């Protein structure tokens, strides 16, 4: 009897819970009766159905009435043609909303700092950070500067009208699943929102980021001699600059030398508690960005909205162009593969846009009108990140005697204070105060040491206008005219080719100049170390129809060491660039097949430097009678999926870098508190293939076999390159054996190194199947591997464009 009563009570309790859940929201979830409704909930038909074929439409909005033809290709590219440019952008906005509405909404919410309104407190830090970097504030200024008859404004207004037309026609049943899960609806768009998404794109492609905050630890803790040895101002190793002195000496005529510019002192000295506070800020800011980014790709727990990937961030790209000197005729050809993350759905959308005076084909981001990368009948263009430092940091001097003020140019000046309110789902709104100084916005105010960041992106610019214009450009020079006028932030290495056979590469934009101080760390904010302006246009790096017959970039150093201005220091390692240079410089008679051969190359250039010394060390140590040695000895350095040597080499390089540098970082107090493992130059997740450390090893291998840095300063053990290589090799073999057993075909690179396309919204069930992947972070066909033995998250999005029609 007692059991029956217990069962009855439990049944009633369960019923009450189900009834409550059916009609009430729990956390981020909507009422179950709503989400499980068979006609309108999660089981309703998808919000759109993609069917290849053509469609003729009549478009009417505002004062526009026009005919539009839409053609959907089987590969996902969409063609739009109209006799009205406004109608064309209206339809592009409508189609971006139809196929990428959830992406559009979350990109906008990220840019506006409004994610927490639907995702709850897990993204609060992200919203705070996005408010601090002023994406929306700058967008407001840009919108205010656009008059009603400005073509950019007219086209953006048409674009958002198309987005809003789709949103306005949505019923609950047709909402994308993610909105139902979060119990949210998409908001209408306006022109300012598009400009805010532009600013998000610019932030995520602005080099430097928050790195100077961490590097300040190294500047304070390491002797200057060690800084110059491990972190030289000009990259060590093998370098092929994008704009070398030999091809454009005119930009080197000012006084100075990038290797020896007097920029190393002063920087701000912080106490240990201040170190910890600044590091805590950095970590929380990066965590916030990570949480924001997992909304676009990555893995998350059910209904727990997180992110682990930046939205538009360039993880190392390639572009190059060749002209008649290399093609043996009058044509020019161009290739570009931007290594932005690939996901399901992709962050790219493919369009062909045809209107009076325009016929362009290529790709764009959801939230952008026009085509970002592509070609028209006259020009083709591609881009890689320029890696130019665009963020500078200042420690503001404050005093209890002058609350709300900071010391600047000899007097106390009041901060400009902006009050912000962030809505948080399920909790009370959060009110924050943002402090702005002349030299930037305060993004950390721990222990009375306000750290302000100055970023070129705080200046209103119009990169979207640039894209709208170059879609119609007829020559390389027209492209450059628009580039110099409109594209200022997130400097890219723009490679361009035109139908007249001209080529060029143009890393143009705003390059800050300071008179003194160390921009690699935190500068004093007293006004003496602020920007004095920007590098004059005539001294900006560029190449136009060089005598070599080619231009190229792969995120390597931009200029030769005698360039007279500081422009940054933490570039990609340069070995993709070295391989591209090697292949292009030795090739003539370029055609499509030869361009594709370079683009698909999986040879790791670092094997040309390290492999022979490694084999010599193994042979001298009596390890030549092993299958692992035999695999390496017969290997050609290509990271092919069926190669066991590729796996051995990958683990060896990983351990070679870490075993040499971790003791030195530890010796000088760079531990987890101060950034160890959290950024590339402190052995972060991409240290194996990016940043200065692997370049040091290449340099020492070629020039300084007995460098003191091969010894261990902690244990006191002396060493050289051979001992360091043998130690790293032993570590690698032990790890591979532990993970994959004794040497066998299970060691093949394709078994260790895999790719999959991750869900844009962190829904792991929607990830694609893992497949074996060739390449690594040093190969032209780039396939960075963040965790050995785990799927590869940074995949190649290879595209090629040409003016050789």
Q: What residues contact residue 721 under an 8 Å CB cut-off, 6+ apart? A: 613, 617, 700, 701, 705, 706, 707, 710
Of the segments 51-55, 675-679, 783-787, which one has the largest average pLDDT value? 51-55
Please tell me the number of Cα atoms within 13 Å of 380 on its side-chain side.
24
Buried b (16+ CB within 10 A) or exposed e, 528-550: ebbbeebbeeebbbbbbbbebbb
Burial of 411 (0-12, 13-18, 19+ CB in 10 A): exposed
Work out the pLDDT band at 764, boundaries 50, 70, 90.
low
Q: How much is the pLDDT for 289? A: 61
Instruction: Tell me the two tokens of residue 153.
Output: 């404004």
Beta bridge partners of 64: 61
Q: What residues contact residue 291 under an 8 Å CB cut-off, 6+ apart? A: 122, 123, 125, 126, 305, 306, 307
Instruction: Tell me the two tokens of residue 87.
Output: 């109608």
Distance CA 48, CA 99 (A): 7
Decide which of 188 and 304 is more confident.
188
345 cis-preceded (ω within 30 degrees of 0): yes
Beta bridge partners of 524: 395
pLDDT tens, 515-573? 888 999 999 999 999 999 999 999 999 999 999 999 999 999 999 998 999 999 988 88
Distance CA 801, CA 394 (A): 42
Work out the pLDDT band at 321, boundaries 50, 70, 90.
very high
Q: What residues contact residue 149 under an 8 Å CB cut-off, 6+ apart? A: none
Distance CA 164, CA 190 (A): 9
Work out the pLDDT band at 770, boundaries 50, 70, 90.
confident
Q: How much is the pLDDT for 75? A: 87
Handedness of CA 382, 502, 559, 528 (dihedral sign): negative
Work out the pLDDT band at 370, boundaries 50, 70, 90.
very high
Q: Among candidates 379, 394, 441, 391, which has minimal Cα distance to 415?
A: 441
Distance CA 25, CA 27 (A): 6
Is 50 exceeded by the pLDDT of residue 575?
yes
The number of beta carbons lying within 10 Å of the beta carbon of residue 240 is 18
Decide which of 515 and 303 is more confident.
515
Is 70 exceeded by the pLDDT of residue 47?
no
Work out the pLDDT band at 788, boundaries 50, 70, 90.
very low
Q: Are 164 and 189 in contact (CB under 8 A)?
A: yes
Instruction: Tell me the two tokens of residue 166.
Output: 């789709």
Please tell me what DSSP assigns to residue 45.
Answer: P
What's the rounded mean pLDDT across residues 641-655?
96
What's the rounded mean pLDDT across residues 588-610?
95
Q: In Å, what is the CA distance from 507 to each residue of 519, 558, 597?
A: 20, 8, 26
The number of beta carbons lying within 10 Å of the beta carbon of residue 519 is 26
pTM of the model: 0.89
Is 80 exceeded by the pLDDT of residue 316?
no
Q: Among candidates 797, 727, 803, which has minimal Cα distance to 379?
A: 803
Q: Among candidates 358, 662, 641, 327, which has minimal Cα distance to 501?
A: 327
Please tell me the number of Cα atoms within 13 Å of 203 on its side-chain side.
27
Is 70 exceeded by the pLDDT of residue 293?
no
Instruction: Tell me the two tokens of residue 31.
Output: 């009422």
Beta bridge partners of 495: 382, 505
Is 80 exceeded by the pLDDT of residue 785?
no
Distance CA 703, CA 698 (A): 9
86-100, 197-211, 312-326, 610-624: which has the minimum mean pLDDT? 312-326
Decide which of 349 and 298 is more confident.
349
DSSP 3-state assignment of 587? coil
Is 90 exceeded by the pLDDT of residue 122?
no
Q: How much is the pLDDT for 279? A: 75
pLDDT over 90, % of the chain: 65
Q: How much is the pLDDT for 50? A: 73
Q: In Å, what is the CA distance from 363 to each residue of 347, 349, 351, 456, 790?
A: 10, 5, 6, 26, 30
Decide which of 199 and 691 is more confident.
199
Beta bridge partners of 45: none
Is 80 exceeded by the pLDDT of residue 179?
yes
Is 50 exceeded by the pLDDT of residue 305?
no
102-106, 138-142, 577-581: which has the minimum mean pLDDT? 102-106
Q: How much is the pLDDT for 760? A: 56
Q: Kind and range of the H or E element at 388? A: none
pLDDT tens, 4-39? 556 555 555 544 554 454 555 555 555 555 545 544
Decide which of 452 and 445 is more confident.
452
Q: Among candidates 108, 124, 130, which has minimal Cα distance to 441?
A: 130
Distance CA 774, CA 641 (A): 5
Is 80 exceeded by the pLDDT of residue 132?
yes
Q: How much is the pLDDT for 210? A: 84
The number of beta carbons lying within 10 Å of the beta carbon of residue 575 is 29
Packing angle of the helix pair 191-204, 463-470 (nearest 10 deg) = 100
Look over the chain and give the mean of its residue pLDDT values, rounded to a whole number.
Answer: 86
Instruction: Tell me the two tokens of residue 668.
Output: 């000088």
Q: How much is the pLDDT for 296? A: 36
Question: How far apart are the two ends of the chain, measured CA to CA in Å?
Answer: 87
Q: Among candidates 549, 541, 636, 545, which has minimal Cα distance to 584?
A: 549
∠ CA 266-267-271, nearest 5°, is: 130
């Amino acid at each position: 009897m007692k059991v029956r009563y217990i069962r009855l009570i439990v049944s009633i309790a369960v019923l009450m819970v189900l009834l409550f859940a059916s009609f009430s929201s729990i956390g981020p979830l909507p009422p179950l009766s709503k989400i499980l409704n068979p006609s309108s909930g999660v089981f309703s038909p998808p919000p759109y159905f993609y069917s290849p074929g053509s469609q003729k439409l009549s478009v009417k909005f505002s004062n526009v009435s026009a005919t539009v033809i839409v053609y959907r290709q089987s590969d996902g590219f969409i063609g739009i043609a109209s006799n009205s440019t406004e109608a064309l952008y209206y339809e592009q906005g409508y189609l971006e909303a139809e196929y990428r509405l959830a992406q559009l909404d979350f990109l906008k919410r990220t840019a506006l700092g409004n994610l927490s309104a639907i995702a709850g407190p897990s993204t609060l830090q992200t919203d705070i950070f996005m408010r601090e970097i002023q994406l929306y504030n700058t967008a407001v200024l840009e919108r205010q500067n656009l008059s009603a008859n400005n073509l950019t404004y007219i086209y953006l207004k048409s674009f958002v009208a198309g987005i809003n037309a789709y949103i306005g026609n949505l019923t609950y049943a047709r909402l994308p699943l993610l909105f139902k899960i979060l119990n949210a609806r998409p908001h209408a768009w306006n022109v300012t929102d598009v400009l805010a998404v532009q600013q998000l794109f610019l932030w995520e492609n602005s080099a430097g980021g928050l790195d100077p905050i961490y590097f300040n630890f190294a500047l304070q803790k390491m002797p200057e001699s060690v800084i110059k040895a491990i972190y030289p101002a000009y990259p060590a190793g093998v370098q092929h600059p994008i704009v070398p002195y030999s091809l454009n000496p005119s930009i080197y005529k000012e006084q100075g030398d990038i290797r020896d510019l007097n920029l190393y002192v002063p920087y701000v000295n912080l106490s240990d508690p201040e170190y910890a506070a600044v590091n805590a800020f950095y970590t929380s800011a990066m965590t916030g960005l990570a949480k924001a980014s997992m909304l676009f790709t990555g893995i998350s727990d059910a209904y727990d909205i997180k992110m682990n990937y930046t939205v538009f961030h360039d993880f190392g790209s390639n572009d190059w162009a060749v002209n008649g000197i290399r093609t043996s005729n009058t044509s020019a050809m161009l290739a570009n593969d931007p290594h932005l993350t690939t996901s399901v759905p992709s962050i790219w959308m493919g369009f062909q846009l045809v209107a009076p005076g325009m016929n362009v084909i290529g790709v764009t981001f959801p939230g952008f009108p026009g085509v970002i990368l592509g070609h028209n009948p006259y020009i083709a263009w591609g881009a890689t990140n320029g890696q130019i430092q665009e963020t500078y940091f200042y420690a503001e001097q404050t005093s209890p005697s002058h609350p709300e003020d900071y010391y600047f140019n000899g007097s106390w000046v009041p901060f400009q204070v902006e009050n912000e309110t962030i809505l948080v789902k399920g909790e009370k709104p959060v009110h924050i105060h943002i402090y702005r100084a002349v030299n930037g916005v305060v993004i950390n105010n721990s222990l009375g040491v306000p750290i302000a960041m100055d970023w070129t992106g705080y200046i209103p610019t119009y990169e979207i206008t640039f894209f709208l214009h170059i879609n119609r450009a007829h020559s390389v020079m027209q492209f450059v005219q628009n580039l110099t006028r409109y594209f200022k932030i997130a400097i890219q290495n723009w490679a361009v080719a035109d139908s007249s056979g001209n080529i060029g590469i143009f890393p143009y934009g705003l390059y800050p100049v300071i008179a003194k101080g160390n921009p690699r760390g935190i500068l004093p904010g007293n006004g003496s170390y602020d920007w004095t302006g920007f590098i004059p246009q005539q001294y900006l790096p560029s190449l136009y129809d060089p005598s070599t017959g080619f231009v190229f970039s792969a995120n390597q150093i931009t200029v030769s060491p005698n360039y007279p201005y500081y422009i940054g220091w933490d570039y990609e390692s340069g070995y993709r660039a070295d391989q591209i240079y090697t292949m292009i410089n030795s090739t003539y008679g370029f055609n499509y097949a030869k361009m594709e051969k370079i683009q698909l190359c999986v040879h790791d250039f670092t094997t040309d430097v390290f492999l022979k010394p490694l084999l010599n060390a193994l042979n001298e140590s009596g390890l030549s009678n092993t299958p692992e040695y035999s695999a390496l000895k017969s290997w050609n350095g290509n990271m092919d999926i069926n190669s066991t040597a590729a796996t051995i080499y990958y683990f060896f390089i990983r351990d070679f870098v870490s075993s040499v540098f971790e003791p030195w970082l530890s010796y000088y107090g760079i531990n987890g508190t101060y950034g160890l493992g959290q950024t590339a130059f402190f052995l972060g997740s991409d240290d194996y293939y990016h940043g200065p450390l692997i370049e040091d090893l290449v340099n020492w291998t070629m020039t300084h076999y007995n460098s003191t840095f091969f010894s261990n300063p902690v244990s006191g053990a002396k060493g050289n390159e051979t001992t360091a290589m043998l130690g790293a090799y032993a570590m690698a073999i032990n790890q591979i054996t532990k993970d994959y057993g004794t040497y066998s075909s299970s060691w093949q690179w394709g078994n260790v190194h895999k790719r999959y396309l991750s869900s844009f919204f962190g829904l792991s069930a929607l990830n694609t199947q893992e497949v074996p992947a060739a390449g690594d972070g040093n190969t032209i066909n780039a396939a960075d591997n963040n965790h050995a033995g785990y799927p590869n998250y940074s995949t190649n999005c290879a595209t090629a464009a040409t003016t050789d029609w």
